[in-house]
Chains A and B, each alone.
Chain A
Amino acid sequence: MRPFDYQRPDTLSGAHGAARDGATFIAGGTNLIDLMKLEVMAPDTLVDISRLGLDRIEPHGDGLHVGATVTNSDLAADLRIRRDYPVLARALLAGASGQLRNKATTGGNLLQRTRCPYFYDTATPCNKRRPGSGCAAFGGEMRNHAVLGTSEHCLALHPSDMAVAMRALDATVELEGADGTRRETALDDFYRLPGDRPDRETTLSAGDLITGVILPAPFGGRQTYRKVRDRASYAFALVSVAATVRMENDLISNVALAFGGIGTRPWRDHDVEDLLTGEAPTTALFEKAGDILMKDAVLREGLEFKDTLVRRLLTATLTEMTQ
């Protein structure tokens, strides 16, 4: 690990002061410390944001405000989350391990880096790690990679389970700029596609601190998170889906679907939801939804299985939820 300066401010303004000079925030550290050990990331200054009082879950209008340093464990265990946003509790519980969830935070989970093996291996070219150096996944092994939203420069997946559920829930990210101004960005607009700059993953500016995530009023209906992976626990998703569905008179009256494991960002396609809304649930309809979801997918060698897998997952999940 490269040497760095460590600061632990106890006020937001203290954190911004440090960040103005180009520091990197550390929350749980479960991703950042890993990457620093490998020298994939080498910050000069670490600003520990764990003691800024951002660890509360509070009412916010008809919804909830989840502080940026609320741990994944505490969020999944919160009774309001379990009752009103079960898809989020389920997604959190499907991620990582009991130990990791006790450290992993809401903000850190949103900003965790990809699990593309070449991103972690500094001996290989990687446009995300070193812009312009190339992409070792081409000509290498593609498995843990995306089929939607990719470019010839990068096809890295966003690995978060939590962010997939939050996207289905229409969550908003609350930010504070280095000058202390607050703003909100819908999660729909938070992540960027890789294009020719895969190192730029979000619409955050330098020094922006995530202060929390806002969940809108509870959606109700049925909610579920299904994750398919290589082993039953403690593994990242091959594909996953966060689904919320409301039925009225045996028709689908409202539906939101977000996907993990297929996109370069937590994936949501409103065309899929438009097709389903107002319709009677049938297998034929769900298969058509799969066609729309995957219409722009690029199934590079090694990733073909994701096409079948995500379509089956979509059909199985909607069948179960609309019964």
Chain B
Amino acid sequence: MKTSFTVNGSPFSLDIDPRVTLLDALRDHLNLTGSKKGCDHGRCGACTVLVDGRRINACLSLAVMHDGDEITTVEGLCKDGRSPLQSAFVRHDGMQCGYCTPGQLCSATAVFREIADGWPSHVSETLDGPYALTREELAERMSGNICRCSCYPGINAAILEIAEEDAGHAEAAE
């Protein structure tokens, strides 16, 4: 079945069996192997990609369902060399084997937007917003990304550093 979408800004057209998941389309058909397959059942978050700016599990979505969508994978986050978030992961030792890292990076990128959009989380004290990315908020919002090497201290430190920098910039701009 013919399907077209853009990945990291480039248009792609595929003729694809409807059984192919978005994850397999990216990895096996477009050779974008940054997105990882950990569980293939929505339980680990290694396959997290952004669709129209929102994070999803690419393993639980069919490629044909994404006709016309704009998809961003980890490769798209570092088009101009290493992104500030990636550098922070390196600085804070936010990985060991690195298998979960692409999903962590995509997920964190989406979390920044969810915070900016004033989305509440399970641990938010009120539903009114706005919300700051505290350690507790971060742990809850990133709970869909499992790290088998348990590098959570480094992952959290890296994401919090970028969140604080962004908050600093926002304040300076005001």
A1 CB–B CB distance under 8 Å: yes
CB pair A33–B119 under 8 Å, yes or no, is no
CB pair A37–B41 under 8 Å, yes or no, is yes
Determine chain B's interface SS by DSSP, over half rule.
Answer: loop
Closest-by-CB residue of A relative to B61 is A29
B62 CB–A CB distance under 8 Å: yes
A269 CB–B CB distance under 8 Å: no
A97 CB–B CB distance under 8 Å: yes
Given A30-B57, A33-B60, A102-B56, A77 and B107 contact (CB-CB distance below 8 Å): no
B170 CB–A CB distance under 8 Å: no
Among the 9-residue stretches A2-10, A52-60, A251-259, the one with 4 or more Cβ atoms under 8 Å from chain B is A2-10
Given A6-B18, A34-B42, A233-B139, A99 and B57 contact (CB-CB distance below 8 Å): yes
A93 CB–B CB distance under 8 Å: yes
The one of A3, A90, A96, A98 that contacts B107, using a Cβ cutoff of 8 Å:
A98
The one of A4, A76, A99, A103 that contacts B19, using a Cβ cutoff of 8 Å:
A4
* Cβ contacts B102-140/A at 8 Å (1 or 0 each): 000001001100100111111010011000000000011
Given A99-B107, A233-B139, A3 and B120 contact (CB-CB distance below 8 Å): no
CB pair A99–B48 under 8 Å, yes or no, is yes
The one of B1, B114, B124 that contacts A98, using a Cβ cutoff of 8 Å:
B114
Q: Which residues of A contact B40 (CB under 8 A)?
A: 37
CB pair A3–B19 under 8 Å, yes or no, is yes
Closest-by-CB residue of A relative to B40 is A37
Question: What distance in Å separates the Cβ of A86 from its nearest Cβ neighbour in chain B?
Answer: 6
A138 CB–B CB distance under 8 Å: no
Question: What distance in Å separates the Cβ of A156 from its nearest Cβ neighbour in chain B?
Answer: 19
* Cβ contacts A132-167/B at 8 Å (1 or 0 each): 000000000000000000000000000000000000
Q: Which residues of B contact A86 (CB under 8 A)?
A: 127
A94 CB–B CB distance under 8 Å: yes
Complex alpha-carbon distance, A115 and B8, angstroms = 35
CB pair B117–A77 under 8 Å, yes or no, is yes
CB pair B61–A82 under 8 Å, yes or no, is no
CB pair B60–A102 under 8 Å, yes or no, is no
Interface centre among A46, A97, A102 (most CB of B within 10 A): A97
Complex alpha-carbon distance, A77 and B49, angstroms = 21
Question: What distance in Å separates the Cβ of A214 from its nearest Cβ neighbour in chain B?
Answer: 22
A193 CB–B CB distance under 8 Å: no
B21-70 residues at the A interface, CB under 8 angstroms? 21, 40-42, 45, 48, 51, 54-57, 60-62, 64-65, 67
Q: Which residues of A contact B114 (CB under 8 A)?
A: 98
Q: Which residues of A contact B56 (CB under 8 A)?
A: 99, 102-103
Q: Which residues of A contact B41 (CB under 8 A)?
A: 34, 37
Given A1-B19, A73-B119, A89-B127, A234 and B144 contact (CB-CB distance below 8 Å): yes
A254-276 residues at the B interface, CB under 8 angstroms? none
CB pair B143–A234 under 8 Å, yes or no, is yes
Q: Which residues of A contact B124 (CB under 8 A)?
A: 93
CB pair B128–A82 under 8 Å, yes or no, is yes
A114 CB–B CB distance under 8 Å: no
A48 CB–B CB distance under 8 Å: yes
A32-49 residues at the B interface, CB under 8 angstroms? 33-34, 37, 46, 48
Q: Which residues of A contact B57 (CB under 8 A)?
A: 30, 99-100, 103
Q: Which residues of B contact A234 (CB under 8 A)?
A: 143-144
A50 CB–B CB distance under 8 Å: yes
Complex alpha-carbon distance, A76 and B120, angstroms = 8
Given A6-B64, A37-B41, A82-B127, A98 and B144 contact (CB-CB distance below 8 Å): yes
CB pair B139–A34 under 8 Å, yes or no, is no
CB pair A94–B122 under 8 Å, yes or no, is yes
CB pair B61–A103 under 8 Å, yes or no, is yes
Q: Which residues of A contact B19 (CB under 8 A)?
A: 1, 3-4
Task: Give chain A's interface residues, CB within 8 Å of chain B.
Answer: 1, 3-6, 8, 26, 29-30, 33-34, 37, 46, 48, 50, 73, 76-77, 82-83, 86, 89-90, 93-94, 96-100, 102-103, 232-234
20 residue pairs bridging A and B, Cβ less than 8 Å apart:
A1-B19, A6-B18, A6-B64, A29-B62, A34-B60, A37-B41, A48-B64, A50-B65, A76-B120, A93-B121, A96-B144, A97-B145, A98-B55, A98-B114, A99-B55, A99-B144, A100-B57, A102-B51, A103-B56, A233-B122
5 closest A-B pairs by CB:
A97-B144, A233-B143, A6-B18, A82-B127, A234-B143
